[in-house]
A and B are shown apart, each in its own frame.
Chain A
């Protein structure tokens, strides 16, 4: 047999044939960054990092880092829900976090993730919005939840949802008093249990995302940015603390069997439990 005409260094091979390069690893059951196919990257969670915000969190999953801040403002309630406040989540993917993003209006990906999170928060009824009412029909609390991504290395949805849930968990809002058309909020001394209240979260949904790679439909847990680019589909499973499903999303060309979905749900259960332990530790 003739000797091959070209030989490549691994990094050249990765640039020329990224999928083939990746396949060499997955057939052995590992990934280029050393992880097993079902391993999630190390995750750290920090509470209350921003003192100007009512609630805040910073979450790192591998190289993906998100800072989330919650600000509470007084506003008029929506016409059809006069006794409920509302949440406005927003995920920002700026050019700072990766060279993939260009400056300008929010990209399609940022809008899609924001909307996905909005849906999870609404449909899972994470918060009883009546708790946010100050004066029915006149004034309610609006919670602006802004998650800013500072470093993007794949799997923005998991990181964003975790950051938002942690931030909502440590929100502290000053108790307002309503007097003849004006809202008075006590300022001055530090917020404590007497002059402020925390949110009562009914459920804490957390998610686990998997990428579907190749015709062999290899499932990769917690894809990083290179794995996201070469994968053909993604599955996201969202579960709350009782193990109930809050959301399942599957996008992409590859179709996968029911057993694959079941495996993903089991893996997601373990992962979300692990995430909750991390959140509660700190």
Chain B
């Protein structure tokens, strides 16, 4: 795939989007019957399912904290989710790293002191992978935690951004990610505009950094609109049913 095709002369990306445009987002909560809270999120073709169990009794007594809950995140990538089938073992370092990112993103946000001596388990299942897995995981986790009724100080909205050819762009898909573009994932608390996670592994010129960060922040705000609407619609729906 030649680099020239990533951004057309008119400024359209490979999938026809403008640089500052997010992919089509579909989100639903309460999709699983067994979990305390669950959410299903689609960023274009990236599909992630999040399930939250908790607060419940901690599995390992030795890890229990007397004054707060412990968060445990497990990330599972389905073998059929990527273009080539890859059987990732549970202990794959990349997956463990991503899971620990999610955990560290939510630790300051979840009000764990309300649930001492317990454990909150977050299970993430990537069903289809088309770029932006970490952002989808974080967004799905936010909605699942809200669905489970676990107290948080704010939503956590995540968005990827990068420098594609000559412009900053958000929500990169797999083709854009795997070609030689730099990509940063940012997770933000929308109300206070505070950033809880920044992750970048590629090279980016420091002059371009501000533009990319700014665009990512706007992307996060857009994500917040979508997620909030889903949660409110569901809450209204439930309230209506309960009033009957």
Contact = CB atoms under 8 A, between A and B. Distances in A.
A199 to B, nearest CB: 16
B2 to A, nearest CB: 14
A91 B228 CA distance: 35
Contacts of A232: none
B90 A103 contact: yes
B34 A148 contact: no
Contacts of B34: 63, 97-99, 151-153, 225
**A interface: dominant SS:** loop
B107 interface: no
Contacts of B127: 49-50, 67, 148
Interface in B40-97: 45, 47, 49, 51, 53, 56, 59, 74, 76, 78-85, 90
Interface string A129-159: 0000000000000001010101111000000
Contacts of B90: 103-104
Interface string B225-236: 000000000000
Interface string B126-149: 011110000000000000000000
Contacts of A73: 84-85
B150 to A, nearest CB: 16
A69 B51 contact: no
A95 B75 CA distance: 11
Contacts of A103: 74, 90
Nearest to A94: B76
A71 B123 contact: no
A50 B85 CA distance: 13
A281 to B, nearest CB: 22
A275 interface: no
B33 interface: yes
Contact of B53 (A50, A99, A104): A99
B118 to A, nearest CB: 13
Contact of B125 (A52, A94, A153): A94
A150 B79 contact: no
A144 B79 CA distance: 9
Chain A: interface residue count, which band? 20 to 34
Interface in B15-36: 32-35
A151 B35 contact: yes
Nearest to A148: B78
A71 B32 contact: no
B121 interface: yes
Interface string A44-81: 00000111110010000011110101110100000000
A52 B130 contact: yes
Contacts of A51: 45, 128
Interface string B100-138: 000000000000000000000101010111100000000
Contacts of A148: 76, 78, 125, 127
Contacts of B130: 52
Contacts of A151: 32-35
A96 interface: yes
Interface residues of B, number: 29
B56 A99 contact: yes
B33 A96 contact: no
Contact of B85 (A65, A67, A71, A95): A71
A95 B78 contact: no
Nearest to B79: A146
A103 B51 CA distance: 14
A66 B87 CA distance: 18
A1 B82 CA distance: 70
A150 B32 contact: yes
A95 B33 contact: no
Given A51-B45, A73-B85, A103-B74, A96 B123 contact: yes
Contacts of B53: 95, 99
Interface in B190-213: none
B47 A50 contact: yes
A51 B81 CA distance: 9
A69 B76 contact: no
Nearest to B174: A52
A63 B74 contact: no
Contact of A52 (B32, B35, B74, B83): B83
Given A51-B128, A52-B128, A52-B129, A71 B33 contact: no
12 contacts: A50-B80, A51-B45, A53-B80, A56-B80, A69-B81, A71-B79, A73-B84, A73-B85, A95-B53, A103-B90, A148-B125, A152-B34
Interface of B: 32-35, 45, 47, 49, 51, 53, 56, 59, 74, 76, 78-85, 90, 121, 123, 125, 127-130
Pick the 5 closest A-B CB pairs, nearest first.
A69-B80, A63-B33, A96-B123, A71-B85, A53-B80
Given A50-B128, A52-B82, A151-B34, 5 more contacts: A71-B80, A96-B49, A103-B74, A150-B51, A151-B35
